[in-house]
Amino acid sequence: MRLLDAGCGPGSITVGLAEAVAPGEVIGVDVSSDVLKEARALAAERGAANVRFGAADVFALPFPDASFDAVFAHTLLEHVGDGGRALGELRRVLRPGGAIGARDCDWGSGVFAPNDAAIAGAMALYERVWRHNGGHPHCGRYLPGLLDAAGFEDIRTSASFRWDGSAEESRAFGELLAHRLALPNFARPIVENGWRDRARLGELVAACLTWSDRPDAFAAMVMVEAVGRAPHD
């Protein structure tokens, strides 16, 4: 088996896939050179000799047609401007009858407690920046339609949780909001577009961290999985 992990990030899933399909070959690609360094280091640490990583754009993959038996995309389509075009390119490099798997968040499914105006404001601001950067926060619910429109067959879907309501995961939810909103590529458009000034943004970040430490904090959000097959042309 030859498998492509598109948008592999730091390689934590990619290395697991390599272990699952060994001695088959796994290739992980991403646009970020920084995360590819992390991925290579992880593969070396785990002794995964059947995996390699490289820089690539999902809209122009450096592989011939029908190069892979399977392709995987975890939280990729929710961040690209044209999911249909990305899926078309993934289908191009997938052999006829090959399998595709995708998993993306549905931000609109999020629930949290206790009710907190700062958390609600941070969630709305996070989604606003996400859209501003060309992403699709509600991508999960549209996965089956995207795969169908891209010509995949035998499409099956399921749902799971990114944050599952446990104390640890609820804490991680608040911490993620705080961390992401403080990042330059999030903070810059927020301030430049006048959505919040830096002082107010700092208050939101601090409030998210405070909420995450509450013993009664609860957060849950749906992730959607979809698998399909390339047609036997």
What class, spelled out in words, does domain 57-229 have in CATH?
A: alpha beta
Give percent above pLDDT 70 in the chain: 100
The predicted model gives 37-62 an average pLDDT of 96
Distances (CA, A) of 77 to 59, 71, 85, 102: 11, 13, 10, 8
Query: What pTM was estimated for this model as a whole?
Result: 0.91
Q: At residue 233, does pLDDT exceed 90?
A: no
Average pLDDT, rounded, for the chain: 95
Q: What angle do CA 52, 154, 220 make, to 5 degrees?
A: 70
pLDDT digit string, tens, across residues 55-102: 999 999 999 999 999 999 999 999 999 999 999 999 999 999 999 999
From the number of C-beta atoms within 10 Å of its C-beta (0-12, 13-18, 19+), residue 96 rates as: exposed
Q: Which two tokens stand for residue 76?
A: 């990729």
What does the pLDDT read at residue 30?
96
What does the pLDDT read at residue 155?
98
Question: How far apart are the C-alpha atoms of 99 and 150, rounded to whole Å?
Answer: 13
pLDDT digit string, tens, across residues 121-140: 999 999 999 999 999 999 99
* Type and span of the H or E element at 77: none
The predicted model gives 13-37 an average pLDDT of 95
Distances (CA, A) of 226 to 88, 89, 127: 15, 17, 23
Q: Cβ–Cβ contacts within 10 Å for residue 23, how many?
A: 8
The predicted model gives 23-33 an average pLDDT of 95
Residue 59 and residue 85 in contact, taking contact as beta carbons nearer than 8 Å: yes
pLDDT digit string, tens, across residues 146-195: 999 999 999 999 999 999 999 999 999 999 999 999 999 899 999 999 99
Residue 70 and residue 229 in contact, taking contact as beta carbons nearer than 8 Å: no
Question: How far apart are the C-alpha atoms of 30 and 23, rounded to whole Å?
Answer: 23
